[in-house]
Structure 1
């Protein structure tokens, strides 16, 4: 039961975990599987491993079906411990294996598992690897659902190994979706909503990358292998990641005050990022705007970005006047975030955040993004020293992130 054939020279060698599994502050009532795959080609290859809790069991079972010293490649699509957790135990026994992964993933794995002396093969979009009878192709899929992730495609088998993407949390012994003993489509959709949904733009980018691939089967790292109607599941991701609402109906007000013009540049890049997300921005410089007009616009907007230069450890005075006026607005749940520029100190944005919290806004900051969206890229509060090209690009990306929060709020 440990080794199950998927297709020619491709085998499932994973772990079925039928407990109520703690996972991302949730309890998986139907359990899950950790799907690892062994390709018994001329250069034997493992694609992903299992949860760290089952590392010894995994390696003990694997050595019953293959001489571990003959494994040439271990492909790691994603470094989280439910997929890469058994890598140290496997690498210790498969001493000749090279680890195939993205550049960022290699850095993380070396530090996490003390693998600095192992040989890594770094792959990028479209790179191919001959594993002796089959060709694997790799595509980077950042933020699905962490920054370092990639997917692996077996050209000869027309099989996609996408790790967390297209997964479902259900413990099962049937392995294939056409043999599923019960309902699983809703679980598939819930998985998407909780794990992939917060990263909608990256889902869209991933779909563009796999659009031209011939895919007969999807072999994810949790739940069923999708060998029946695989394209139906790609279509579901396409539908779920498409905007249901008219994005143009969503509006965000950007309001700021500046001393030297750097905060103006930041506001402009935030507006560009919002537009990229399909959201209409309204931009106000408080130095030449009517306060009542600004307040009216914030009232009808779906979100607000408030920015200020830092002056003597504080925000600019007219920004504070605006924030004091916002305390009288019914703002419960409206999304907001702080941004600003600084030279030698940058406390202004912290004061803006405090006002927004006190006024009942939902403040988008790193804590919010990590807890609610699984996004660990620092975005807000956006604190930029002066405004060079690199930092302005950061502002543009932050605008896109804020736009996505508005669209999916």
Structure 2
């Protein structure tokens, strides 16, 4: 059954379907959402999936986003009298899945809320009302009758600290919420066409799961105690039935690749204080773009021995400032004391404010770590207003800079060891000189490029290779617009020198450069020979670059008789 709320625009729709014996999904389809969570761009909208399991007893697994409040509740009450719901299983408490918990409990006050210890604690803070609860841990089971025995798998940090997975032995269905999901909105209930969803599945992993790759591997190991997984009932995107083994295994392969590095960055944060979780995720995402491993740890409810071991293993430690007073402050302070007692003088340390209204001040804590011999990793991130796109971009760039710093020694060794005849031959492939400029909201970016080629006639299209650790990469998702500025032979040095500089995170890359706005607002470089206005159509994943294919929507040449600047390299193993 499909109900359309705004038929002409197809903005928000809902969908219900039976996915297994006694099991129904309620899907809320958000077709036009283009930003999510910590400002990740979405090219295909998203969905919020909820599930109803009817045994002798009834369990509702997750709810929906509050924007679907009336539509979701109408569908739910049309499927079942809420007074018959015995259990409300909370996979995790992020608002897009638990935004309607209070509303459901108002209709079903008898329902027992099932969740991890941390999830129940978070809900107490959200709901501010008494409710029946059942705290479950890894391996616990709940028998609904009619063969529906639910077993719970502890999966902290995927991607919230309170996450659990739920396996129904009766239908071999694994309910995973964020895990194995994707931001992909479609009427298709299942993953029939793997090619359509692959880019979004990988992008979702890179943004939300890669910073917790070690936790992914731990969860996969715990899943080994379950029976066969015939289908995955995830919280976002189409459900998985046709490619279950393949897509689960991709998490394993990607996470193994992510954790094989010699160096590790530990990110400590307080998940439900201010914007600590989102800011830490943005920093972590920036680090993972450089292929440096990241491990995130919530300072609330953490085992002190685990905090000690992580602090000892890390090459760099990043701390999101906790509140300065209250119960959370005391718990976080204990963890920070453990970290201080575990670190050594060869480590780096960095701090960011959580913007929770009562942040512990950075400078006294920074002084304590520096007295321990640690080196400051980056300029502390101090936030004076509600975080916006520019704030998250600053955090991501800070993470990328730190990752590049940690991998610099390895990169230099690789360059020296790969100066072979083959590398010299590849270096003879010439390219033009271009500067890519982009703007999305308040965020601007620029990058010097030479791996550019025309890729199609109809429509006119170009391909550009963009290194995965470039800051502008996040502004070149499918649907984004940018300008390809073509530099002039004999007149490119000033622009090239400017954009080859190493900019600090958040620094204005266009200060002192003459620009004019393109149709989409991206800066056109006035001194360029020509420019093309482009829109990203697709991205191909190469080992260390994204191959970005873009449609050309417009352009102009400033000097008809001038030539494009050409770039020649001696070797092909680095720029």
State the TM-score, normalized to the length of structure 1: 0.65
Cα–Cα, structure 1 residues 366 and 87, in superposed 2: closer, same or farther, change >3 Å?
A: farther
Cα–Cα, structure 1 residues 362 and 152, in superposed 2: closer, same or farther, change >3 Å?
A: same
Residue in 2 aligned with 1:151? 165
Q: Given the alignment of the two structures, is residue 10 of structure 1 paired with residue 23 of structure 2, yes or no?
A: yes
Residues 356-375 of structure 1 correspond to what in structure 2 (within 5 A)?
361-362=377-378
8 Å contact kept, 2:264–2:313: no
For residues 308 and 381 of structure 2, what CA distance do their matches in structure 1 show?
18
Q: Could you say what secondary structure the match of 1:3 adopts?
A: strand
Cα deviation for residue 275 of structure 1 reads: 7.3
Residue in 1 aligned with 2:66? 52
Residue in 1 aligned with 2:154? 140
Cα deviation for residue 246 of structure 1 reads: 5.5
Cα–Cα, structure 1 residues 18 and 112, in superposed 2: closer, same or farther, change >3 Å?
A: same
In structure 1, list runs of 5 or more residues that go unmatched. Answer: 253-268, 281-306, 310-318, 323-334, 340-344, 375-401
Q: Could you say what secondary structure the match of 1:79 adopts?
A: coil
User: In structure 1, which of residues 29, 36, 61 is the aligned counterpart of residue 43 of structure 2?
Assistant: 29
Cα deviation for residue 26 of structure 1 reads: 2.8
User: In structure 2, which of residues 202, 220, 232 is the aligned counterpart of residue 189 of structure 1?
Assistant: 202
Residues 192-231 of structure 1 correspond to what in structure 2 (within 5 A)?
192-213=205-226, 214-231=228-245
For residues 93 and 109 of structure 2, what CA distance do their matches in structure 1 show?
20
Cα deviation for residue 159 of structure 1 reads: 1.0
Q: Could you say what secondary structure the match of 2:78 adopts?
A: coil
Cα deviation for residue 3 of structure 1 reads: 2.1
Residues 260-271 of structure 1 correspond to what in structure 2 (within 5 A)?
none
Cα deviation for residue 5 of structure 1 reads: 0.7
Cα deviation for residue 243 of structure 1 reads: 2.8
Q: Given the alignment of the two structures, is residue 42 of structure 1 paired with residue 56 of structure 2, yes or no?
A: yes
Cα–Cα, structure 1 residues 372 and 136, in superposed 2: closer, same or farther, change >3 Å?
A: farther
| 1:332-359 alpha-carbon deviations (Å, 9 max, x no partner) | xxx82169xxxxx866237679x956xx
Cα–Cα, structure 1 residues 224 and 114, in superposed 2: closer, same or farther, change >3 Å?
A: same
Q: Which has the higher contact order (CA 8 A, sep 6+)?
A: 1
Q: Given the alignment of the two structures, is residue 104 of structure 1 paired with residue 118 of structure 2, yes or no?
A: yes
8 Å contact kept, 1:72–1:96: yes
Residues 1-400 of structure 1 correspond to what in structure 2 (within 5 A)?
1=1, 2-24=15-37, 25-115=39-129, 117-133=130-146, 134-178=148-192, 180=193, 183-213=196-226, 214-243=228-257, 247-248=261-262, 250=263, 273=310, 336-337=348-349, 348-349=367-368, 361-362=377-378
Cα–Cα, structure 1 residues 246 and 41, in superposed 2: closer, same or farther, change >3 Å?
A: closer
Cα deviation for residue 23 of structure 1 reads: 1.1
Matched residues, number? 303
More helix by share: 1
Cα deviation for residue 17 of structure 1 reads: 1.0
Cα deviation for residue 72 of structure 1 reads: 0.6
Cα–Cα, structure 1 residues 226 and 156, in superposed 2: closer, same or farther, change >3 Å?
A: same
| 1:137-165 alpha-carbon deviations (Å, 9 max, x no partner) | 01111111111111111111111101100
State the TM-score, normalized to the length of structure 2: 0.47
For residues 226 and 137 of structure 1, what CA distance do their matches in structure 2 show?
19
| 1:53-109 alpha-carbon deviations (Å, 9 max, x no partner) | 212221111101111110111100110110000111111001221111111111111
Cα–Cα, structure 1 residues 194 and 97, in superposed 2: closer, same or farther, change >3 Å?
A: same
For residues 394 and 255 of structure 2, what CA distance do their matches in structure 1 show?
15
For residues 270 and 96 of structure 1, what CA distance do their matches in structure 2 show?
38
For residues 162 and 194 of structure 1, what CA distance do their matches in structure 2 show?
17
After the TM superposition, which parts of structure 1 deviate over 4 Å for at least 4 consecutive aligned residues?
269-272, 274-277, 350-353, 363-367, 370-374, 405-409
In structure 2, list runs of 5 or more residues that go unmatched. Answer: 2-14, 266-305, 317-338, 352-363, 384-390, 396-401, 408-467, 470-575
Q: Could you say what secondary structure the match of 2:24 adopts?
A: strand
Q: Could you say what secondary structure the match of 2:152 adopts?
A: strand
More strand by share: 2
Cα–Cα, structure 1 residues 246 and 161, in superposed 2: closer, same or farther, change >3 Å?
A: closer
For residues 140 and 191 of structure 2, what CA distance do their matches in structure 1 show?
30
